[in-house]
Amino acid sequence: MSIVTISPKFQVVIPQKIRESLDLRPGQKVQAFSYKGRIELVPVKKPRDMRGFLPGIETDVPRDRDRS
């Protein structure tokens, strides 16, 4: 666990180990959420980069007979 300090401009530095493990780059966008009393930063990914992140999921959707 890392502890960071909030600057007078309300900025924080993401620790190097975390940046490297998530492959974060300068200028990359993250979404900030307030969730159950904590702040979560979630990297924004392009839909193309998300392709295949759920291997094995069933993609065939059963349809009603009157739909084709």
Q: What is the pLDDT of residues 36-58, one digit of tens each?
A: 999 999 988 877 776 777 787 77
DSSP category for residue 38: E
Residue 45: per-residue pLDDT: 80
Q: Among the listed ranges 27-31, 34-38, 55-59, which one has the minimum average pLDDT value? A: 55-59
Residue 31 has pLDDT above 90, yes or no: yes
Residue 9: per-residue pLDDT: 97
Element housing 41 (H / E)? strand 38-43
Dihedral angle over CA of 62, 45, 2, 34, nearest 10 = -70
Residue 21: per-residue pLDDT: 92
Q: Across-strand partners of 33? A: 40
Residue 56: per-residue pLDDT: 79
Reading the block at residue 56, the tokens are 């094995």
